[in-house]
Chain A
């Protein structure tokens, strides 16, 4: 295993009851790259993403076999505290989900529960700047986060995830609930974060995958069909189902 692999799955399968949603997926996510998961609805890309921070733990029917390694360590090992895992592997969701608290408290929450005590104010500012939201909210940090626009809420959620200094950022269709302008800003933001974080983005939008990612994985009915550099996958797909999907004939 090369030293710069951050996340790796080995023969990973996920079942919901009788249904197999992820089927024997093995892949590596290299450090500081942006990896996109694409594929038709129901192909298992979100489920796969949620294996990386153990959010599937809360789905009682989900059964996971195979391994998920984070820097070589089994994420599902008996001695692993899922809260520790999630501290290092942040997540941004499909629909913006700010807490019903002030803008400041949305970000301070993660800092406080993770033991940051000093300079919380500075860290809140740094996170908001990193999510390019600071200029819009600096004068109203005490305002209710639910009063922000959807696009601002999503950038707040990204700031909230960045505040606890994760190594990895998982993004589950982060722009699918947003209008084109807000989507553009999220994509720009991913571009800014590129190189500093390892980012895994689930998207159903192929143009988006092509614009923002270094590598792309194509999932189809729970299987990983193709995984390579984004440019190569889109210009020279090997699997005919990948080609059919990216040219719009499948899905």
Chain B
């Protein structure tokens, strides 16, 4: 190797290392900031109050820092969204993988993936301007801001991801299993529901968990459509506030840096981060297991 190409090799190697290190260091940096600021928060507020308190009122006296109402809002909307996205997403995946002609699949699958690229603010606007008025016409009890509208639209938003990833999992089930089942006289429906879906289950579960993770982390739709009322409720027609929507609200507000109100941002952020991290790790483990079964 000539001196010049050796130098180029060295420089390029260092450059690639640098790019890789940048993203890793950024992540580490975010975690460090979240952790140190949260540490400050927890020196003022006991972790028990934070995790078990049922009232969230960080700026209005009497102040109270129980995250449960925010967690309630987040989980309520996520649950509603999943109620829409999981069944419809799985059914779409089964259709694409087992029923659709190759031509249909070639058109529909990329279309779904494009749908996944629509900016979330558009979905948020769609919720407020289109879904909420319909909901209020059907259910007069529904508020201008309500959890149902946000849940419905978040569900539609994560639907392409669920169907696309589940379809990948179903398509990865070896053809030989389908042939074996068909050879026993099974119908398409029996092959789909009793052989292909069970065999693809780890991959489907992984896509479901990623969907949960996205529904929990979703920000724009819930901020625009669900309102800003932290409360303990299971009523989808009421206004609620999610963890993400609170973070938006607090970031836009004028809580001076260094105060407890300011630090709530980081504590809630850390809590949210830990939830989605755990879900993503679980999803990755499932996908890893799936690969072991169907290499």
Contact = CB atoms under 8 A, between A and B. Distances in A.
Interface of A: 53, 55, 58, 60, 82-84, 86-87, 90-91, 93, 95, 97-101, 109-110, 113-114, 146, 157, 160-161, 164
Given A60-B102, A100-B293, A101-B198, A113 B177 contact: no
Interface string B142-185: 00000000000000000000000000000000101111111111
A160 B199 contact: no
B177 A97 contact: yes
Nearest to B183: A91
A113 B194 contact: yes
B187 interface: yes
A114 B198 contact: no
B183 A55 contact: yes
Given A60-B102, A99-B199, A100-B293, A113 B185 contact: yes
B26 interface: no
Contacts of A86: 182-186
A164 B101 CA distance: 30
B190 interface: yes
A160 B102 contact: no
Given A55-B179, A60-B101, A161 B184 contact: yes
B247 interface: no
B185 to A, nearest CB: 3
Contacts of A95: 176
A99 B181 contact: yes
Interface residues on B, range: 20 to 34
B185 A84 contact: yes
The 8 residue pairs across chains A and B that have the minimum distance between CB atoms: A87-B185, A110-B184, A97-B176, A91-B183, A86-B185, A97-B180, A83-B185, A113-B190
Contact of A161 (B178, B182, B183, B199): B183
A97 B174 CA distance: 9
Contacts of B181: 99, 109
A146 B194 CA distance: 17
Max chain A CB contacts within 10 Å: which of B182, B185, B195? B185
A100 B185 contact: no
Nearest to A100: B199
A61 to B, nearest CB: 10
Contacts of B185: 83-84, 86-87, 110, 113-114, 164
Given A60-B101, A113-B190, A113-B194, A97 B179 contact: yes
A167 to B, nearest CB: 13
A83 to B, nearest CB: 5
Given A60-B102, A97-B179, A109 B174 contact: no
Nearest to A87: B185
Contact of B194 (A109, A114, A157): A109
Given A97-B180, A161-B183, 6 more contacts: A83-B182, A91-B179, A95-B176, A99-B181, A109-B181, A113-B184
Contacts of B178: 58
Given A55-B183, A86-B182, A99 B174 contact: no
A53 B198 CA distance: 25
Contacts of B177: 97, 99-100
A69 to B, nearest CB: 19
Interface in B62-105: 101-102
A55 B182 contact: yes
Contacts of A157: 180
A84 B182 CA distance: 10
A95 B179 CA distance: 12
A146 B101 CA distance: 31
B203 to A, nearest CB: 13
Contact of B180 (A84, A87, A93, A114): A93
A82 B194 CA distance: 19
7 contacts: A83-B187, A90-B183, A90-B184, A91-B180, A97-B179, A99-B199, A100-B198
Contacts of A93: 176, 179-180
